[in-house]
Amino acid sequence: MSTKAGFLKYERIDGPVTGEQERTKNFNEFHLRLPAQQRREQAQRCMNCGVPFCQNGTMIAGMASGCPLHNLVPEINDLVGRGRLEEAYRRLTITHSFPEFTSRVCPALCEAACTCGVHDAPVATKENEKEVIEFAYEHGLVQSGKPVVRTGKKVAVVGSGPSGLAAADLLNRRGHEVTVYERKDRIGGLLRYGIPNMKLEKSVIDRRIRLMEEAGVRFITGVNVGKDISASDLSAEYDSVILACGASNPRDIQVPGRDAKGIFFAVDFLGMVTKKLLDSDFREYPADLAEGKEVLVIGGGDTGNDCVGTCIRLGAKKVSQLEMMPQPPAERLPSNPWPEWPRVLKVDYGQEEAIWKFGADPRIYQTTVKEFLKDKKGHLKGAVLVSLQPEKDEKTGRMKMVPVPGSEKEVKASLVLIAAGFLGSESYVTDSFSVSTDARTNVKTEAGKHLTSRKGIYTAGDMHRGQSLVVWAIAEGRSAAREVDEDLMGYSNL
């Protein structure tokens, strides 16, 4: 490594963050970069483990441990620690398609599995990765990857989220003619309309899309495959089709009063906010969506947190966030040992901003909605909440959360955002292509494969594995691209 025992010499220092008072005035990214020397020191904390779990990328106890892209983390950290950022970029891009996305939105599976993190703070691999890719862009190292020779094969990718983009990028570099279809008005899928701008500025997506266009990838927006264009027409025009449409079927909350005006799925709400910001070139904020309202966010995950942060920026009067499960412990329990994903309490940026704004953590644990209340005109005015308690299911032996009798209480709410996850793929797409699905409506394939029940039709990303992380979607897209390439050419060098 670049420095012996750097993990003993240097404490972990995270990059500076714009304070809550300033950052909630806009939708700009607020995580800043460390000076070059400090970044080198942070990379020098890497221990160059004999068994680097950070790049393991497998499931342990049902949870991901380490990077599923298998980035060679110690090698990259060593190069960053030596100040050899161009070489670090070359090393990183062997395994990674879009470091600029994951270095902003990934929960850092690599850091959770870092050996240094067993007894100390883990290595700041995520921020090191961001330094590498931003250096590469600033110094003109990120090239379009335009192929010298075309194969004559044509591939259609349906969906322009991270899995679709990763597959399209690799297949185009291989020489195939790739066309990406997107039903929205802009490219990016959930990167564009599901992740708020303060976590991932859309200009970061745009610069990558420009490079892909320069390389020959064709993007078609505003076309809903399965409705605007049939599966049979697409299959007739292309040698292979990759379905990367995401797990875009949101889980609903079916309780009395669900039809009240003022209840939205979280992803739809976040999409509306981003679209209005983009359409006005960030000159107009859609404050009317949340300003002065008492907001109830149902769901304690990343999307729920994004809703909290977004509503604060839009001037919400109050924001509460419901979480069905008990509050996690502050530290790992013996039943959750390293290198499993740590099931511990995390305070994300949205909760930080709510604590600053309203004086308390917005999360209410072991609670759900029993009924939505509406006024005479059908507008949402409140909700009846009920407490939950864990109870063992006698048939399955699993724990489930059940209502506590007599625990109901009424709260005010003029805006409800449902961030309860997704159920799987949308049926109109799978029905159009006549592909088999599993019990969760994910597109079914052989284990470790991407070919569906239809010849020439493949799948990748959340549509294949269910709702997951951006890094898993990129890994899926890359894997699907290799499989498509091998089937088209008889071998693959991807």
- 104 CB-near residues (< 8 Å, 6+ apart): 29, 31, 130, 199, 200, 204
Domain span including residue 228: 154-248+423-489
| Contact of 464 with 452, CB cutoff 8 Å | no
Does a structural domain hold residue 1?
no
Residue where a domain stops, chosen among 86, 108, 138 = 138
Q: Does residue 50 have a pLDDT over 90? A: no
Structure tokens at 254: 């079916």
What percent of the chain shows pLDDT beyond 90? 94
Q: Based on the number of CB atoms within 10 Å of its own CB, is 204 exposed (0-12), middle (13-18) or buried (19 or more)?
A: buried
Same-domain pairing of 241 and 273: no
- Which of 395, 418, 441 is at the close of a domain? 418
Residue 35 lies in a domain: yes
How high is the pLDDT of residue 320? 98
Instruction: Kindly state whether residue 147 falls inside one of the protein's structural domains.
Output: no
Q: In this structure, are residues 148 and 173 in contact, taking their beta carbons and an 8 Å threshold?
A: no
The answer on 413 and 268 residing in a single domain is yes
> Once rounded to an integer, what is the mean pLDDT over residues 435-459?
96
Domain closes at, from 377, 399, 418: 418
Q: Are residues 338 and 442 in the same domain?
A: no
Count of Cβ atoms closer than 10 Å to residue 277 Cβ? 19
Portion of the chain with pLDDT greater than 70, in percent:
100
Whether residue 120 sits in one domain with residue 13 = yes
Report yes or no on 146 lying in a domain.
no
pTM higher than 0.85, yes or no?
A: yes
244 & 316 share domain? no
pLDDT value at residue 1? 65
Write the pLDDT tens digit of every residue in 280-326: 999 999 999 999 999 999 998 999 999 999 999 999 999 999 999 99
CATH of the domain at 90: 1.10.1060.10
The answer to whether residue 253 is domain-embedded is: no
Q: Is residue 325 part of a domain?
A: yes
What is residue 348's three-state secondary structure? coil
| Average pLDDT of every residue of the chain | 96
Task: Find the CATH number of the domain harbouring 365.
Answer: 3.50.50.60
The DSSP letter of residue 289 is: G
Is position 148 within any domain? no
> What digits encode the pLDDT tens for the residues 104-139?
999 999 999 999 999 999 999 999 999 999 999 999
Structure tokens at 396: 């399955």
d(CA 156, CA 144): 19
Phi (first) and psi of residue 477, to 5 degrees? -60, -40
Token output for 473: 């979607």
Do 412 and 428 lie in a common domain?
Answer: no
Q: Looking at the structure, do residues 329 and 379 belong to the same domain, yes or no?
A: yes
Whether 46 and 131 share a structural domain: yes
Confidence grade of residue 2 (pLDDT, cut at 50, 70, 90): low
Detail the DSSP E strand segments found in 325-379.
363-365, 367-374
Residue 138 corresponds to which amino acid?
Answer: E
Kindly write down the DSSP assignment for every residue of 462-479, as one continuous string: HHHH-S--HHHHHHHHHH
Is 123 inside a domain boundary? yes
Question: Tokens 């600053």 belong to which residue?
Answer: 356
Domain count, the chain: 3
Within this chain, do residues 273 and 405 fall inside the same structural domain, yes or no? yes
One domain, residues 414 and 299: yes
The SS3 call for residue 411 is strand
Domain match, 396 and 339 both: yes
Q: What is the pLDDT of residues 462-483, one digit of tens each?
A: 999 999 999 999 999 999 999 9
Residues 310 and 399 in one domain: yes
